[in-house]
Amino acid sequence: MNLGEKYTVNIEKLTNLGVGLAKIDGFVVFVEGACPEDVLEIEISKLNKNFANGKIINIIAPSKYRTDGFCPMQRVCGACQIQFIDYDYQLELKREIVKDAINKIGGLSIEIPLTIRSPQIKGYRHKIQYPVSQTKNSKRVLAGYFKPSTHEIVNIKYCPIQPQICDKIVEFIRNNLNDFKISAYDEKNNSGELRHIVIRNSLKTGENLVTLVFNDNKATESVKLFCKKIYSEFADVSGVCVNFNSKKTNVIMGNETICIVGEPYIKEQLLDKTFFIGAETFFQVNPSSANNIFKYVKNYIGTNFKSPMLLDAYAGISTFGICMADISKEVVCVEENAKSTELAKLSAEFNGVKNIEINNMDAGKFFQNEKRKFDVVILDPPRKGCSEISLDNAYRVCKDTIIYVSCNPATLARDLKYLSKKGAKILSIQPFDMFCHSYHVENVAIIKIN
């Protein structure tokens, strides 16, 4: 096998990163944009010791699951890796991704049910983060997603997986930025001003919180005037904020955000509770699918416990804690982000939740010092999962059940393997489609301690 050689291959499966897997004389070849059961002519584009990458030259016989998709930018935009695959089959593929991770990484044999579909498969993404750049000669402002495996911006003017108001706000920013003598960011030279546009949209109210991320440490008068212009242009914009990030980094937002005009949050609803979401606080991008997860967790707790003591770790704005409060004796929430805990307290007060304790603290440190025992511990960590110390301590303070919510099957499998070795029993794992048309999948694992 050599670079540039062409082969006819059958796509056997989809990997956990959303690319097709084929074999040539037993040698693994990964093919981007492939669907299981495709018959393809490919060209070898990269060759390593243990695998190769191939690019599609011709679709000889398309899989019965292959579709045209609904977005003309799908092939060049990196956001919806598997939009060209039938949606119902996407759900099956995500189940297989979870099953493979749990079996191969976790060493566990657990039946994985079909992924629960998202109530919305278009217009579902209620948070967007667009990098911004500028053409060299015409100074035309570009904003969109990066092409896969590059830092070349695809200028997105219409995105069917997000609310249309987001497209309108971004287009207004693109068209008016130069009028305010504000430059776009140049990543290569770490120069220019506007780095990212971040918009949070509320499914419940239609409100939008716009945050402009600047390569600076202060808001100039031009920036302030531009923020006010955005606010006055759109009735559905509740506030415009500025975030400062002057570091040469891939991290989108810096540590400081100021609200220039309007309110520094939007309001969203999960189950029957209202939450205040800020520029830097975590909240699920797909509220309708998140609602399914919260129903699932609340139903399990309500069915199996009577007024439990509940711990919500990695709590963010305490969404789980606040939603579970009315079926719990007491809820304790732990979150290290101070702005998130501030909004959590505001949300708890707004919803009249009294039986809640909200702690601004690293979860690992909280666990080390905690003497109380909890009937239910909810873990909802970032993609990297939990440290072994955190798992040890969560196990120690839990009397009965850990509910582990994860957006990464690989780290979930690793952590479940660790808990199993401590004697825990994995009762179930339920996938949910939080990120439609991508290879990402959310999971809720129910873990019995004794």
DSSP annotation of 115: P
How far apart are alpha carbons 153 and 363 in whole angstroms? Answer: 37
Half-sphere exposure of 437 (CA within 13 A, CB side): 24
Q: Report the run of H or E that residue 196 belongs to, with start and end.
A: strand 194-201
Active site residue 323: no
How far apart are alpha carbons 432 and 380 in whole angstroms? Answer: 14
Beta strands of 205-272 (E only): which ranges? 208-214, 237-244, 256-262, 265-270
Q: Of 100, 76, 74, 73, whose CA–CA distance to 17 is shortest?
A: 100
Determine contact, residues 280/253, Cβ cutoff 8 Å: yes
How far apart are alpha carbons 109 and 99 in whole angstroms? Answer: 8
Environment class of residue 3 by beta-carbon count within 10 Å: exposed (0-12), middle (13-18) or buried (19+)? exposed
Spatial CB neighbours of 21, under 8 Å, sequence gap ≥ 6:
11, 12, 13, 14, 15, 28, 29, 30, 31
Give, in degrees to the nearest 5, the angle at Cα 253 between 250 and 257. 160
How far apart are alpha carbons 379 and 275 in whole angstroms? Answer: 19
Q: Which of 241, 386, 407, 436 is catalytic?
A: 407
Determine contact, residues 374/309, Cβ cutoff 8 Å: yes
Active site residues: 407
